Amino acid sequence: MSTALLQLHEVSAGYGSIQILHGVSLHVNAGEVVAVIGPNGAGKSTTFKVIMGFISYLGGQIAFDGHDLVGQRPHRILALGLGYVPQGRVVFTQMTVRENLEMGAYLEPDKATIRASMDYVFSLFPRLGERPRQLAGTMSGGEQQMLSMGRALMMRPRMMMLDEPSLGLSPRFVDEVFDKVVEMARGGLTVMLVEQNAARALEISDRGYVLELGRNRYQGSGRELLDNPEVRTMYLGGGVRPHAG
Amino acid sequence: MGSQGDGALTDLGGDAIVLEARNLRKAFGGVRAVDGCSFAIPRGKISGLIGPNGSGKTTTFNLLTGVTTPDGGDVIYRGENLAGHKPYEIFRRGITRTFQITRIFREMTVLENMLSVIAVDVPNRVARARADELIGLVNLTHLRAEYGGRLSYGQQKLLEFARALMTDPDLILLDEPAAGVNRTLLQHLLDHIHRLQASGKTIVIVEHDMNVIMNHCERIFVMDYGVKIAEGPPAEIRSDERVIEAYFGRRRSAEHS
């Protein structure tokens, strides 16, 4: 198991006095696309936040590329090669596309490296390259999502964590965002994504984890989870009391 | 958008409906949060309003209670169209609500919070007696002199719930009552919701906890992308393929076939 790029072992975490994760375990191998799905309150986003060091950690082990992440500050984790795209298209609305991307490289001192990263981002997202001077706040939701992903790529991470990349997007952009994830993965990036749109996420994932109320519930290949009727209906509370009401 | 659910309206009959929303619409910038949503809330029952994140549930509550002004559509309540009315005007007609993120006064005590919603023409003695009774019902009597800001999150939700009942409303809209409330308090809250129903009140619950929805609501409305996609009793909703797809998503191959 030590070959995994990212490994969580029985991780517990929460917000203040409210515990959300009750011993979640998962791993992501280099080059994989892994989906984390589950109903609201499952602890999907919380799992990402505890990995990135944003919230209080209560127990368990988190390792990335041989480094212990517990107690590390977010900027240190970023520097280790773990990128993170938060939920909700968080961009600097009063900054241009280019400035947003530069912000993504704030830990990188070398200008030539930054320029090369920006070229790479523009090649992946041509629409961003066409309008480097547009204010981010004037872009559509889908474009902002692309910008948010592009900004995380500016540090050239080995692995990227995407929190609900398709949330609130029109169907056309949903397609585009998933296409981009596949494209990034083909380019060698390891990806872990949290998605509300479980079907779409599993479709592009090698493996998936289903969380429920802060615990592991199912795991398997994307295909297995897609075809598991229990996974489909657990969103409606069917797993607990199938014939209640 | 089709005429889905129109049949459901007729078999309930006019008298059995406490509030009817017709073609409600609200856009925020380019996002059509509520996009022509129609439904009729059955009188004297506990109903659930569910849907994936961003499907328009809370916006719908905001439109029904005047917190947000609709771009179009009607909210028919007791023969009157409340669309576009101010929150306090709607509140005075007997519709109250709680919020997903509690909105209690943190610098006021529990008792003061309760009294804050009482109209000036209610005698102080009557208001206090009612406040004390409701505080007792949600098990906060020992905290009645405590500041709102010092209550736990679950206790704040109970306080907001109790406060919503101060004016003896007919229609009570609860936005995520179970979130952050521990099991014991939740059971207490649910018992109380059933008692309210037994006394003739109508309750609508927006909730992500499906066990609350499926085990306590008689009728469920399901929203996706700002419209109602299904309506029916829990057993029906649970096996409705459109609802499962709304939550689980749809494979791309399925969409394009």
Q: Is residue B200 one of the residues assigned to a domain?
A: yes
- pLDDT band for B5, please (50, 70, 90 cuts): very low
**pLDDT above 90: residue A237:** no
Considering only CB atoms, B215 lies closest to which of A40, A199, A245, namely A245
- CATH code, domain with B155: 3.40.50.300
Question: Predicted ipTM?
Answer: 0.75
- What is the chain A residue with the closest CA to B56? A168
pLDDT the model gives residue A61 = 96
Contacts of B234 in chain A (CB under 8 A): 244-245
B31 with A197: Cβ contact below 8 A: no
Considering only CB atoms, A203 lies closest to which of B210, B234, B252, namely B252
Nearest chain B CA: its distance from A119 CA (Å): 30
Instruction: Determine the residue type at A81.
Output: G
pLDDT the model gives residue B253 = 66
Q: Comparing A129 with B137, which gets the higher pLDDT? A: A129
**pLDDT above 50: residue A191:** yes
Which helix H or strand E contains B212, and what residues bound it? helix B210-216
Q: Is residue B88 one of the residues assigned to a domain?
A: yes
Within 10 A of A18 (CB to CB), how many other CB atoms are there?
A: 11
Contacts of B210 in chain A (CB under 8 A): 39, 235-237
Q: Give the SS3 label for residue B118.
A: coil
Within 10 A of A173 (CB to CB), how many other CB atoms are there?
A: 19
Contacts of B222 in chain A (CB under 8 A): none
Dist CA A126 CA A93 (whole Å):
20
Contacts of A197 in chain B (CB under 8 A): 249-250
Mean pLDDT is lowest, of A172-176, B119-123, B132-136, for B119-123
Instruction: Determine the residue type at A179.
Output: D
Nearest chain B CA: its distance from A162 CA (Å): 17
Dist CA B103 CA A199 (whole Å):
36
Residues B97-126 have pLDDT tens digits of 988 877 889 999 999 999 988 866 677 888
Q: Give the SS3 label for residue B48.
A: strand
- B250 at interface of A, judged by CB pairs closer than 8 A: yes
B52 with A39: Cβ contact below 8 A: no
Nearest chain B CA: its distance from A224 CA (Å): 14
Contacts of B235 in chain A (CB under 8 A): 243, 245
Q: Is residue B30 one of the residues assigned to a domain?
A: yes
Domains of chain A from N-terminus onward: 6-236 (3.40.50.300)
B210 with A233: Cβ contact below 8 A: no
- What is the chain B residue with the closest CA to A225? B248
Q: By residue range, what is the domain housing residue B55? A: 6-256
- pLDDT band for B138, please (50, 70, 90 cuts): confident
Residue B44, token pair as written in the block? 């004297």
Q: Is residue B1 one of the residues assigned to a domain?
A: no
Mean pLDDT is lowest, of A40-44, A235-239, B70-74, B239-243, for A235-239
CA B220 to chain centroid: 12
Residues A87-99 have a mean pLDDT of 93
Burial class (CB in 10 A: 0-12, 13-18, 19+), B13: exposed
Q: Long-range contacts for B145-152 (Cβ within 8 Å, ≥24 apart)?
A: B145/B109, B145/B110, B145/B111, B146/B109, B146/B110, B147/B106, B147/B107, B147/B108, B147/B109, B148/B104, B148/B105, B148/B106, B148/B107, B148/B108, B148/B109, B148/B110, B148/B113, B149/B106, B149/B107, B151/B104, B151/B110, B152/A17
The count of domains in chain B is: 1
Q: Where are the strands (E) in chain B, listed by range?
A: 17-28, 31-42, 46-50, 72-77, 80-81, 95-97, 171-175, 202-206, 219-224, 227-232
Within 10 A of A211 (CB to CB), how many other CB atoms are there?
A: 24
Contacts of A198 in chain B (CB under 8 A): 247-249
